[in-house]
Amino acid sequence: MDIHQILEYLPHRYPFLLVDRVVEVTPGKSIHAYKNVSINEPFFQGHFPHHPVMPGVLIVEALAQAAGILSFKTMGEMPSDDSVFYFVGIDNTRFKRPVIPGDQLHLHVEIKRLMRGIWKYQAEARVDGELAAEANLMCAKRNIAK
């Protein structure tokens, strides 16, 4: 999926869209996407000016956005203005190496379970094949009152 297709599946926009391309998606199973990390990212101005590092929470958010695409593809649905996917849990999160400008952050997410509207995923972020972060994510689709 290119960026135009990604924009159809995610409500996020600059500066919070953290998926640049989807390499492979198998509905009901897994997704492989990536984020090109550039020195032009707005968060690098303050994190840290003398040694720029992508914040861990944004790495987890990038994994969650990839999980969102996987979920919509699995359901055979497109996002709508009357619902949203929320985080409902983040467990066993570990950061193994810093992610810096120039890195290509590969996002690997696998569906582990869907039960009572709660999606559970195993997620990994890698740079050059090396594990940068891992987490168990839980998300739920909720209707938005208008």
Dump pLDDT digits (tens) for 78-90: 888 888 889 999 9
Dump pLDDT digits (tens) for 93-136: 999 999 999 999 999 999 999 999 999 999 999 999 999 999 99
Vertex 22 angle, CA 18 and 27, to 5°: 115
Catalytic residue among 12, 47, 50, 51: 47
Dump pLDDT digits (tens) for 42-77: 999 999 989 999 999 999 999 999 999 999 999 998
Residue 108 bears catalytic tag: no
Q: Where are the domains of the chain?
A: 3-143
Calpha distance 18→6 (Å, rounded): 10
Three-state DSSP class for residue 6: helix
| Cβ-based burial of 9 (10 A; exposed 0-12, middle 13-18, buried ≥19) | buried
Calpha distance 23→28 (Å, rounded): 16
Q: Which fold has domain 3-143?
A: Thiol Ester Dehydrase; Chain A (3.10.129)
